[in-house]
Each structure stands twice: as C-alpha cells, then as structure tokens.
C-alpha cells in the first residue's frame, strides 16, 4: 500500500472533491489528513496547527495522547527521502525535521517504523510465495496421483485397458452393436455437416488410405478403435470414418453429440455473419453493429445453456479485407503455431487438446478439434481469460470457408458442462472467409462472449464493453496487421531503410528476436497460472498501483540468469491513443521519459518495416553517451492497428545483435523487455465527454539479482516501483497533460 502514497502530494485540491474515486485502501494518509481537518480540530490539532504547538513547547507537558498523523505533505517528503536513503544520519534527520516542522525524534521514529514495516511486508510476501509454491506442489501431487489412478494411453489419449480384460464373444458383440449404432448416427451427421453424401467421402477416404497419404497408424487408435475396426472391416464398411470419432480423453463421450454441437455452432456463425440479417443493427453513431439480443434468443436455441446471471455479454461483428488467400487463412487458424503467432498480445498461449476429427481430402475441411487458450488484454487490471473450446472448420463452397469456436469445458451425458470457475465463455464465434481476386480475402468476424465483468477493473470495462477489448475488431485488426507484415516480408522491394542494407536472413533473425522480446513482455503483464511468473502482491490491483511479479531463471537460453522483477501499471491518459503512440516511438522525445537512455540523443541505426504504417517496425536504437565505451543499443518493436498499439524495447548486447543482424541465431541473446501497451478508451457518445483518452499500460522487467537463489529485497522493489511511477509522470509532463490526480475528471464507466 505504500506504493501510491506519493500520489497525494501537491494535488489536494484535485482530490478533495474526488474522494470516492480514490481507493481509500491505497492512500490512507491523504484521506486521514482531510478527516482531521474536518472533524478533529477541536484541540488545535488540525493538520497544520499541530506541529507549531510542539515547536513552541506548549502541548508538551500534558503528555499529549491526542492521536494524530503526520500530514500528507510530511509523509510524502519522508517517503521520498526514504526511497533515496532509508538510513538518514543525524544531520539529514535534523534537516528533515527542520523542513517538515517535526521533532527530530519524530523523524527518527518515523524512519524506524518505516523500516520495520517494510521488513514485515517483505516477510509477508515471502510467506505468500512459499504458500503459493506449496499449493502448486500439492496440486501437482494430486494431479499425479490422479494420473496414476486413471492412466491414459500416451499415443492416443484413450483409457488404458488392463490386458486381462476378458475378450469374450458376448462383450465383443454388444460392443459391436453399440458401435454400429454410433456409426449410423455419425454417418447421418456427417452427411449433414459436410453437405455431401457419405459415399463420396467414403470413397475419397478409401482412396487416400490406399495411397497411404493418410496417417492412420494403429497407434492412433486405442483399444476401442481396434474393436471398431474389427467391426467395420467385418461389416464391409469403410473403417476410416471411425477415425474421425477418436475418443476424448475424458471417459466415454458421445462423439456424435460433439459433432452436433459443432454443426449447430457453424450454422449459428453463418447466420450471424450473413450480410442481410436482422440480427444486427447499426449503433446510434453508426460506427459499429449491435446485436439484437431478443432476436438472437428467438433465432437460436442456447448451445451451451443460458447466460449465468452475473455475466454480461459482448457480441461484436466486423468485416475487413485481408491480403492473404482463403486457403492460407484457413491454415492460419487451424495450425496451432500459426494461430498463436498471428495474435500476439491477444493469445497468450494455446494448445490443441484433442483432434476429434481430422480434415477430409487432406484439407482442413471438416476438422474438429478441442482446444484451450489464454486470451489477454495487456493490463494487470484485466484478468487473463482461460477458455476451452471446440474449433470446427468447414469449406462451404469453393473459396468460402468458415472456422467456428464454441466454449466447452467437458461433455457429460450428452450435455455441455462448463466449469463453474471459468470467468468467460465463448458462444459461437469465429470467422467466415470469402476469397477475393488478387489474393485478398474478405473476412467477417463474429465474437460473442459472456463474461464476469466484476473481475475487470472499472477503468477497463468500457474497453471490453465496446468490443474493442476481446471483440471482433481487435481480432480482425490483429489479423490484418499480421498479413501486412507478411506482405512486407515477402515484398521483393527492399523494405530496409538503413543504408547499410541487410540480408533476408538478417531480417528474419531480427524479427524472430523482436518477436521473442514482445512475447516476453506480454507474459510479464498478465498473470497466468501457467507462466513462470510469481505474483508478489496478491489480489486485485487498482489504477496506477503497480503489479509486481517475479521469476527465477537458471541456465535458460535467451534470458539473463537470476531474479527478474516485472512491474506493470495501467493508467488512463487524457490524450488520444495515436498521439501517445507517436510520442512514445519518436526518438526525439525519448529522453523525455526513458530513464534508461540517460537523456542522451538517440539514433535509429536499423529500421525494418513490417507494413505500410510507419508505426509497424522493428528497429535498433543507439543511445549516445559521453564515452563510446558506454554506448548502448536498444532493440525496439512497435506496432499499431485499429484496436491497440504496442511499444516494446530492450537493451541488447552489441556483439550479439551484430551477429543477429547478419542472420545469426538469436536464441542466446538475453533480453529484458520493457514497454507500453495502448488501448483506446472508447468514449460512449452519450456521455458527451470531449476528452479522447486512452489506456496506457507500462511494464518494466529488471534483473534484481544475478543469483537465482537470492531473495528479493526491499530496495529492488522500491526501485522498480519508483521507475514506473517516474516514467508515467514524465510522460504526463512531456505531453503537457494534467497530473495523475486529475483523473478524477475521468468518468469511470458503469459503476
């Protein structure tokens, strides 16, 4: 809580009227000061009178028990001094006491208390970490125990069957009967969802399996699969279809039910994406489309049950041109690695749990898989979204494809089970791709989620509510930016603007390194249970307070070894996103805020463009210092699109980066990224607020100790907090906008 105490200083005028906007837990000193001046003044002890009475020696004798606190100014000054020097000597204390009108003993006590307080705080953090570690271990242990109890086959994910299970004829017969049933159902459904007769599929599959292009090794079919094959062969049916009915890892699951779900979701997506539909109407400002919820409910039966009461819904649709052909786009969505790489800063991580049905004809058409992913908005104030979903890809006609996602945590007895712990669910969402001439595609994106708004800080609720946070616009914008980057990379014309020139492999290496830097930065902002970051301060953080996470690295290539501290804070800025973005990436203004650059001039040594927008590029900056030996190089990646902007940078080792520029391997280049993520703060027209603000997240990662075994110290925590507050403050000043306290004018959305 000491994190934000300094904010109060010099801005009381702005705070008095804004009491309810200030998180009282965070700034007790500020509020207490006012309380005193309002109510506790009967005894000449108002905030200002009190010290003078001490100085005059009057109130001394009657053993003043009257409770009082130092004034905010005093505390702020003390705090500031403490940051620089937690152990002031006699002289410094005297000076402080004189300046603050405090007794020397009071100053002494204050520092004494401050130090012990800090110590207990650190202790508490350590306890927290240990407890978390303990919990994690216990959880792992439980998971392992569980895994031992229900072993799964490593190659197919199916249940392991003990070898002594009786293979009597009766069992086989009844099993066959069950499978025959299932097969018929699946055939019917397959016809329905592929829109063509089963015979052609069967024959194409047969053809494929004979030419052995289809991976159908026995290893992919579990015990049940063998059984099925047996049955299929004996009944003269093409067995391949059963391959598309691989069991989910969870118990016996009715596959046809899942297929049915996917078909229904696809149907819904297509209707939602249709051009002439009354499901959407344009908003009052005509900028975006709004879902007609009544109509929606009337049109579609709920695929995954009704909306939980405490959830709000977020439905958005956006259409745009993308410079990539439809096949390549489909590949982008269906190939896990590509998918993750197209949406950096949006998809934190993802995995494919099970392939329920592989594609047909060697294409992605008909692919149905179970996936999980973590989605993020880059701010500690917006918790990461963990989603498990079905992804189903279907080719509707030549050049027209669709990929639909649907939240599904588990399937039991023919109904969808959603985890009660999940904070978000995705209703049929995804995109429809229509191939256009010249290698372009028209993409219509539907993003429909229901989520728990309470876990999101009010500052970010408007962003999420506008569909810009996790909505269609952000997905599409990210996709477009990615494709522009691809085009730039492919372009024959040399996009490098530095005279020294650069080889294609050099560019590739630089992109790869920049990519790792940005990913690293993003992972330090949003706390994921899966990541290696440990959160220091538990619970939610508030606006302008710093979220701290730490991690230990040992012998990890590309990372400095030791303890790394990541500090992140989000604030509202009273300037448009574009202006802030341009400011932050302009090397002329860099010394205004970049403490790292030491105020020296900055030169752009290398610049590799990633698209038509000048804001999308990877560059190498040189900070000139007095002595050439201290010259420092900074790798920087910036990007911007219709929904968000990002600036990430990290100091790099000169010889290492020279090797990368020449196309060398970047794996061992150590990086500690810092940077900013910017989102617009959509101003709902009805408030009439003229301020076009934006949301800024600043993040720093610093190496606090090179020994991984070392403990985090108070000093390093204080330093990094100071760094982040200072940087934000400097940005404020440089942009000549009001100090942070003026955020009281920032209307907090739907409170």
Partner DNA sequence: GGACTAATCCCGG
Partner DNA sequence: CCGGGATTAGTCC
Contact 583, 734 (CB under 8 A): yes
Residue 192 is a binding residue for DNA (CB under 7 A): no
Among 18, 37, 40, 703, binds DNA (CB under 7 A): 40
Which helix (H) or strand (E) element contains residue 282? strand 280-282
Contact 653, 660 (CB under 8 A): no
Where b means 16+ CB within 10 Å and e means fewer, 704-727 reads: bbeeeeeebeeebbbbbbbbbbeb
**Of 31-39, 197-205, 219-227, 474-482: span binding DNA (CB under 7 A):** 31-39
Q: Considering the complex, what minimum distance in angstroms separates the CB of residue 16 from DNA?
A: 15
| Number of residues lying near DNA (CB under 7 A) | 32
Q: Which residues contact 253 (CB under 8 A, 6 or more apart)?
A: 247, 411
Among 18, 31, 410, 596, binds DNA (CB under 7 A): 31
Q: Considering the complex, what minimum distance in angstroms separates the CB of residue 87 from DNA?
A: 7
Instruction: Pick the closer one to DNA by CB: 106 or 256.
Output: 106
Q: Considering the complex, what minimum distance in angstroms separates the CB of residue 715 from DNA?
A: 14
Q: Considering the complex, what minimum distance in angstroms separates the CB of residue 741 from DNA?
A: 19
Q: Considering the complex, what minimum distance in angstroms separates the CB of residue 725 from DNA?
A: 17
Nearest to 156 by CA among 222, 111, 215, 66: 222
SS3 string, 506-548, reads HHHHHHHHHHHHHHHHHHCCCCCCCCCCEECCCCCCCCCCCEE
Instruction: Pick the closer one to DNA by CB: 112 or 598.
Output: 112
Among 16, 84, 94, 109, binds DNA (CB under 7 A): 109
Instruction: Pick the closer one to DNA by CB: 110 or 676.
Output: 110
Instruction: Pick the closer one to DNA by CB: 33 or 682.
Output: 33
Among 12, 18, 23, 28, binds DNA (CB under 7 A): 28
Among 18, 46, 53, 108, binds DNA (CB under 7 A): 108
Instruction: Pick the closer one to DNA by CB: 120 or 234.
Output: 120
What the block records as the tokens of 625 is 């210092």
Among 115, 132, 138, 173, binds DNA (CB under 7 A): 115
What the block records as the tokens of 263 is 């078909």
Instruction: Report how far residue 388's alpha carbon sits from residue 738's, in angstroms, rounded to the nearest whole number.
Output: 43
Instruction: Pick the closer one to DNA by CB: 104 or 299.
Output: 104
| DSSP labels, 181-200 | HHHHHHHHHHHHHH-S-HHH
Among 35, 58, 126, 135, binds DNA (CB under 7 A): 35
Q: Considering the complex, what minimum distance in angstroms separates the CB of residue 717 from DNA?
A: 15
Q: Which residues contact 632 (CB under 8 A, 6 or more apart)?
A: 596, 597, 622, 623, 625, 651
223-234 and 169-194 are packed helices; what angle lies between their axes, rounded to 10 degrees? 80
Nearest to 366 by CA among 154, 232, 200: 200
| DSSP labels, 231-270 | HHHHTT--THHHHTTPPPSSSS--HHHHHHHHHHHHHHHH
Q: Considering the complex, what minimum distance in angstroms separates the CB of residue 11 from DNA?
A: 19
Torsional class of 238: left (φ above 0), alpha (ψ -120 to 50), beta (otherwise): beta
Torsional class of 608: left (φ above 0), alpha (ψ -120 to 50), beta (otherwise): beta
Residue 421 is a binding residue for DNA (CB under 7 A): no
Instruction: Pick the closer one to DNA by CB: 109 or 293.
Output: 109
Q: Binding mask 118-137 vs DNA (x if CB under 7 A, - otherwise)?
A: -x------------------
Instruction: Report how far residue 473's alpha carbon sits from residue 479's, in angstroms, rounded to the nearest whole number.
Output: 10
Q: Considering the complex, what minimum distance in angstroms separates the CB of residue 374 from DNA?
A: 31
Q: Considering the complex, what minimum distance in angstroms separates the CB of residue 288 from DNA?
A: 40
Instruction: Report how far residue 454's alpha carbon sits from residue 461's, in angstroms, rounded to the nearest whole number.
Output: 9
Instruction: Pick the closer one to DNA by CB: 104 or 220.
Output: 104
Instruction: Pick the closer one to DNA by CB: 89 or 168.
Output: 89
Among 1, 142, 274, 455, binds DNA (CB under 7 A): 1
Instruction: Pick the closer one to DNA by CB: 69 or 400.
Output: 69
Residue 24 is a binding residue for DNA (CB under 7 A): yes
Residues in region 43-102 near DNA by CB under 7 A: 65-70, 75, 87, 89-90
Instruction: Pick the closer one to DNA by CB: 1 or 160.
Output: 1
Instruction: Report how far residue 679's alpha carbon sits from residue 376's, in angstroms, rounded to the nearest whole number.
Output: 12
Q: Considering the complex, what minimum distance in angstroms separates the CB of residue 563 from DNA?
A: 23
Q: Which residues contact 474 (CB under 8 A, 6 or more apart)?
A: 346, 467, 468, 643, 644
Q: What is the CA radius of gyration of the chain?
A: 30
Instruction: Pick the closer one to DNA by CB: 119 or 192.
Output: 119
Residues in region 585-614 near DNA by CB under 7 A: none
Residues in region 235-264 near DNA by CB under 7 A: none
Residues in touch with DNA (CB under 7 A)? 1-2, 24, 28-29, 31-32, 35-36, 39-40, 65-70, 75, 87, 89-90, 105-106, 108-110, 112-113, 115-117, 119
């Amino acid at each position: 809580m000491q994190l934000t105490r300094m904010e109060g200083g010099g801005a009381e005028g702005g705070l008095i009227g804004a009491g309810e906007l200030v998180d009282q837990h965070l700034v007790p000193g500020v509020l207490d000061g006012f309380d005193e001046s309002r109510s506790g003044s009967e005894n000449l002890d108002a905030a200002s009178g009190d010290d003078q009475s001490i100085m005059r020696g009057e109130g001394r004798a009657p053993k003043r028990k009257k409770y009082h606190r130092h004034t905010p100014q005093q505390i702020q000054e003390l705090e500031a001094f403490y940051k620089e020097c937690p152990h002031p000597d006699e002289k410094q204390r005297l000076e402080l006491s004189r300046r603050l009108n405090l007794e020397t003993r009071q100053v002494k006590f204050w520092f004494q208390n401050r130090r012990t307080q800090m110590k207990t705080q650190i202790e508490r953090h350590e306890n927290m970490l240990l407890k978390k570690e303990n919990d994690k271990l216990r959880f792992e242990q439980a998971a392992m125990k569980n895994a031992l109890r229900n072993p799964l086959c490593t190659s197919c994910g199916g249940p392991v069957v003990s070898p002594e299970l009786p293979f009597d004829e009766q069992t086989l017969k009844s099993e066959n009967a069950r499978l025959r049933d299932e097969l018929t159902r699946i055939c019917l459904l397959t016809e329905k969802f592929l829109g063509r007769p089963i015979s052609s599929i069967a024959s194409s599959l047969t053809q494929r399996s004979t030419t052995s292009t289809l991976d159908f090794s026995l290893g992919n079919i579990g015990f049940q699969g063998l059984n099925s094959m047996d049955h299929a062969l004996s009944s003269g049916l093409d067995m391949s279809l059963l391959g598309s009915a691989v069991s989910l890892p969870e118990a016996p699951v009715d596959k046809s039910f899942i297929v049915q779900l996917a078909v229904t979701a696809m149907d819904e997506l297509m209707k939602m994406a249709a051009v002439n539909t009354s499901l959407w109407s344009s908003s009052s400002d005509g900028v975006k489309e709004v879902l007609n919820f009544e109509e929606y409910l009337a049109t579609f039966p709920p695929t995954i049950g009704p909306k939980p009461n405490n959830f709000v819904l977020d439905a958005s649709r956006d259409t745009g041109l993308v410079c990539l052909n439809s096949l390549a786009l489909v590949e982008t969505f269906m190939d896990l690695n590509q998918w993750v790489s197209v949406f950096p800063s949006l998809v934190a991580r993802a995995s494919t749990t099970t392939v329920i049905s592989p594609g047909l004809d060697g294409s992605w058409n008909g692919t149905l898989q179970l996936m999980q992913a973590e989605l993020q908005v880059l701010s500690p104030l917006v918790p990461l979204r963990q989603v498990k979903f079905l992804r189903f890809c279907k080719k509707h006609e030549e050049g027209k494809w669709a990929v639909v996602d649907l939240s599904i945590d588990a399937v039991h007895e023919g109904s969808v089970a959603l985890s009660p712990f999940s904070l978000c669910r995705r209703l049929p969402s995804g995109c429809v791709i229509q191939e256009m001439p010249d290698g372009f595609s028209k993409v219509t994106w539907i993003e429909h989620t229901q989520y728990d708004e309470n876990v999101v800080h009010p500052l970010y609720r408007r962003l999420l509510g506008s569909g810009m946070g996790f909505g269609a616009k952000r997905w599409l914008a990210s996709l477009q930016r990615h494709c522009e980057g691809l085009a730039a990379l492919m372009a024959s014309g040399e996009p490098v603007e530095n005279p020294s020139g650069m080889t294609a492999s050099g560019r590739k290496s630089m992109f790869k390194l920049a990519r790792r830097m940005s990913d690293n930065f993003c992972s330090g902002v949003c706390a994921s249970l899966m990541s290696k970051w440990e959160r220091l301060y538990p619970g939610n953080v508030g606006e302008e307070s710093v979220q701290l996470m730490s991690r230990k690295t040992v012998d990890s290539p590309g990372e400095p070894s030791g303890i790394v501290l990541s500090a992140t804070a989000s604030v509202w800025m009273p300037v448009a996103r574009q202006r802030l973005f341009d400011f932050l990436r302009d090397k002329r203004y860099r010394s205004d805020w970049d403490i790292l650059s030491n105020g020296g001039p900055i030169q752009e040594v290398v610049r590799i463009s990633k698209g038509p927008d000048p804001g999308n590029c990877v560059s190498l900056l040189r900070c000139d210092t007095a002595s050439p030996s201290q010259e420092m190089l900074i790798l920087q990646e910036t990007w911007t699109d219709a929904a968000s902007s990002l600036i990430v940078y990290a100091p790099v080792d000169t010889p290492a980066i020279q090797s990368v520029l020449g196309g060398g391997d970047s794996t061992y280049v150590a990086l500690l990224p810092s940077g900013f993520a910017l989102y617009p703060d959509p101003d709902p027209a009805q408030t009439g607020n003229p301020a076009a603000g934006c949301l800024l997240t600043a993040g720093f990662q610093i190496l606090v100790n090179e020994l991984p075994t070392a403990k985090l110290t108070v000093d390093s925590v204080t330093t990094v907090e100071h760094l982040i507050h200072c940087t934000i403050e400097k940005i404020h000043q440089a942009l000549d906008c009001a100090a942070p306290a003026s955020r009281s004018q920032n209307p907090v959305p739907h409170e």
